[in-house]
């Protein structure tokens, strides 16, 4: 299974630190496995918990939220909120039956290209270990529910 498994990973990057870090990682030609897609938000706190739930519904195998280091937030305290939300979302996702590691938080500054590459690669490796998300539409026939559900489309 691991051989065919190409994970779908979403990386939310804040505009001021992490996205710049990702950009620099590209310029620096760091090798990163091609299984992730970056979405830029103005602040990591702009990443609404609903979006993370929506990402998992749509079949994401992992979601990473990257923001400025504590104390460095462009909006002073946005990343603290992100940190709290991610902490509580992890316990919520565990209750939904997902491994808490499928949601990952990382602090990456604009200069930390290497850290961006390393943490994304590390996250991808962890997701490869975990395998496809049980909420993936194709991977989870039992989550689609009873046969009744299937007939309703």
Partner 1 sequence: MAEKIKIAIGQGATCSGCDIAVLDLDVELLKLFEVADLTFAPLATDIKFKDVEAMEDGEITLSLYHGAVRNSENEHVAKLLRRKSKILVAYGACAAFGGIPGLANATTRQRILDTVYEETATTVNPEHVRPQTRHVTPEGHELELPELFEQVLALDDVVDVDYFIGACPPTREMNMQLLQVVLDFLSGKADLPPKGSTILACERTLCEECPREKPEKVFVDQIKSVDYTELDPNKCFLEQGILCFGPATRGGCDSKCIKVNMPCRGCMGPTASVLDHGGSMLSAFTSILKISGAETELPEEEIQKLMSQMRDPLGTFYRFTLPKSRLRRVVKEEEKDQKA
Is 128 a residue that touches partner 1 (CB under 8 A)? no
Q: Which is nearer to partner 1, 85 or 115 (CB)?
A: 85
Please list, in sequence order, all residues whose beta carbon lies within 8 angstroms of the beta carbon of residue 76, skipping any fewer than 6 positions away.
none
Please list, in sequence order, all residues whose beta carbon lies within 8 angstroms of the beta carbon of residue 149, skipping any fewer than 6 positions away.
none
Please list, in sequence order, all residues whose beta carbon lies within 8 angstroms of the beta carbon of residue 94, skipping any fewer than 6 positions away.
100
Long-range pairs, 86-94, Cβ under 8 A, ≥24: 89/49, 89/52, 93/56
Q: Which is nearer to partner 1, 106 or 112 (CB)?
A: 106
How far is residue 147's CA from residue 133's CA, in Å, rounded to a whole number?
21
**Residues from 49 through 108 that contact partner 1 (CB under 8 A):** 49-54, 56-57, 70-71, 77, 80-81, 83-85, 87-92, 95-99
Number of residues that bind partner 1 (CB under 8 A): 41
Number of H helices, E strands in the chain: 5, 4
- Over the window 4 to 43, marking each residue x when it contacts partner 1 by CB under 8 A and - when it does not, the resulting string is ----------------------------------------
Contacts with partner 1 by CB under 8 A lie at 1, 48-54, 56-57, 70-71, 77, 80-81, 83-85, 87-92, 95-99, 130, 134-135, 139-140, 142-143, 145-146, 148-149, 152
């Amino acid at each position: 299974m691991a051989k065919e498994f190409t994970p779908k990973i979403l990386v939310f990057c804040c505009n001021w630190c992490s996205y710049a870090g990702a950009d620099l990682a590209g310029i620096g030609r760091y090798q990163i496995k091609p299984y992730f897609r970056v979405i830029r938000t103005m602040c990591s706190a702009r990443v609404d918990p609903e979006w993370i739930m929506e990402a998992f519904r749509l079949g994401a195998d992992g979601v990473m939220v990257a923001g400025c280091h504590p104390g460095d937030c462009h909006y002073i305290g946005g990343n603290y909120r992100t940190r709290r939300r991610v902490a509580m979302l992890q316990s919520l996702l565990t209750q939904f039956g997902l491994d808490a590691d499928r949601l990952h938080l990382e602090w990456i500054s604009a200069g930390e290209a290497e850290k961006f590459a390393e943490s994304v690669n590390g996250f991808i490796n962890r997701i490869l270990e975990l395998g496809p998300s049980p909420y993936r539409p194709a991977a989870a026939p039992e989550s689609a529910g009873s046969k009744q559900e299937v007939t309703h489309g």
